[in-house]
Amino acid sequence: MFIDKNAGLALGIASFLFAGHAVADDSCPKPVTPVVNVDLPSRYKDDDKSRSELDETLNAEVEKSLAPIDGFIRDLAATANATTNEKKADAAAECIFNSVAAWARAGALKHAETMNAHLALSSRIAGIAAAYARALTVRKAPEETGAVIENWLVALAEMQVKYFDTEAPPMASRNNHRAWAGLAAAQVGAITNRQDLLDWGARTNEMLICSANDDGSLPEEMKRKDKALHYQLHAVAPIVVTARLLFPSKPNAPLVCQGKLDKIVDFTIAALANPALVTDLAGAKQSFQTRKEKLRSFQIAWLEPYLYLQTDDKPALDLADSFRPLSNSFLGGNLTELYRDSR
């Protein structure tokens, strides 16, 4: 049963700000040079319409290009984890404020040169915003820097909204890429009190939840052959976190389409225990079956916000317990610690 709680978690609504160039203390990671232009090829072979067969050379190029961005976000998430420690929280918040401000002033990530750059950016924007939101649970930042950061994050979110509304290809407009764009918009909207961004995130989430098959499988992810379950997991993460993020202002967000979110989660958990459920739908043995992939805790970090909403789901709780702590830098860091007091 979904229950109403009013805990002031970092994934909830906040507004943000702060500046300065001094490092808070030795625990603040060294600055990462902001990446302004993002130019990525596809990871996949040109003749693969399912977007499941990696081109190893292109994949390595993508990983190399994303490495400094992802390193920056991992640093933010690691620092955000300290915001729950009373002795370290203030220094952690200052570190996050300074780090994000440097990227905001540089106009980082504002030039997406290719379709694949746009598709990769949504989860990164969500991760930066989530870490910043956690810093804001500690204290507010100074006004001038807050304005710089806020304008930057809004510009990034609006860039993605425009792209998915007008340019994104049909498959990306309905799959995990759209889900991450929805989360990015909702997270930035929550931070900056931009109702239009929150609403766009809510509409995106409703569209994706309602698109699920009756068994809870996501149709666009089931087209991904041996990676169908991998991408189901990748889509469920932003869908669940967006539902949690919207919950304070839109308590019906997790209940759209007769509570179909529960079916999506139930199917995903059942498929992790028995990937053959997906094999039948995708027409290929899953990467988890062929041992090309092993389930890692970051892939199920979304279980913590789900269990906040759905407290009596024993399969979800059992899976979470077997992998805790659950952490994902794109979702704001260690979610097990973040949700500890709400369990």
Residue 4 is predicted with a pLDDT of 37
Q: What is the DSSP string of 174-229?
A: TSHHHHHHHHHHHHHHHHHT-HHHHHHHHHHHHHHHHHS-TTS--TTGGGSGGGHH
Q: pLDDT per residue over 75-95, tens digit each?
A: 999 999 999 999 999 999 999
Residue 280 located in a structural domain: yes
Residue 30 located in a structural domain: no
Residue 231 located in a structural domain: yes
**Dihedral sign for Cα atoms in the order 17, 21, 26, 29:** positive
CB 343 within 8 A of CB 313: no
Q: pLDDT per residue over 174-202, tens digit each?
A: 999 999 999 999 999 999 999 999 999 99
Domain count, the chain: 1
Q: From CA 287, how far away is CA 215, in angstroms rounded?
A: 21
CB 39 within 8 A of CB 62: no
Residue 320 located in a structural domain: yes
Q: Are strands 37-38 and 111-112 parallel, antiparallel or unpaired?
A: parallel
Residue 25 located in a structural domain: no
Residue 22 located in a structural domain: no
- State the CATH number of the domain containing residue 275: 1.50.10.100
Does 107 have pLDDT greater than 70? yes
Residue 47 is predicted with a pLDDT of 73
Residue 5 located in a structural domain: no
Residue 144 located in a structural domain: yes
pLDDT band at 14 (very low <50, low <70, confident <90, very high): very low
Residue 194 is predicted with a pLDDT of 97
* Containing structural domain, residue 79: 37-342
Residue 52 is predicted with a pLDDT of 73
pLDDT band at 26 (very low <50, low <70, confident <90, very high): low
* Tokens (6 digits) for 303: 């279980």
Percent of the chain with pLDDT strictly greater than 90: 82
Q: pLDDT per residue over 256-279, tens digit each?
A: 999 999 999 999 999 999 999 999
Mean of pLDDT over the chain: 91
Poorest-confidence range of 19-28, 154-163, 319-328, 330-339?
19-28
